Amino acid sequence: MSDLRFLADMNISPLSVKRLRDRGWDIFRVSEVMESSAKDTVILEFARQENRVIITQDLDFSKLLALRGFDKPSLVNIRLGNPTPEIVATKVQDVMEALASELSSGIVVTIDENSIRFRSLPIRVD
């Protein structure tokens, strides 16, 4: 298992978090470490300080990373039509196994039904 640590946004099911934790992951859901109504900026800062990869279905984190020019934390965006807890856990596990070193370096990953795409951080906004 990698040394990566994760933070699941509120839109990620507690069942997905449990499945990943049961597989040995160091993962928390936002509601376990702060108010569930915490703003994205607060979540982002927490993930930066704790060196945790954010797992979310919220595209606002990509925008925040780009606008602030951050090179961390890495971000995994789930863009699935049917994001059941098991499918989310399995897809995220696959990404972690395939892109562990890239996630350590700072990337944004987008997972959809047909592909896994990623780009390095910081995101350049010209």
User: What pLDDT, in 10s, does the model give residues 71-87?
Assistant: 999 999 999 998 999 99
Domain ranges, ordered by start, for the chain: 5-120
Question: Residue 99 pLDDT > 80, yes or no?
Answer: yes
Half-sphere exposure of 100 (CA within 13 A, CB side): 9
Q: Which fold has domain 5-120?
A: Rossmann fold (3.40.50)
**Model-level pTM?**
0.95
- Of the pLDDT bands very low, low, confident and very high (cuts 50, 70, 90), residue 124 is confident
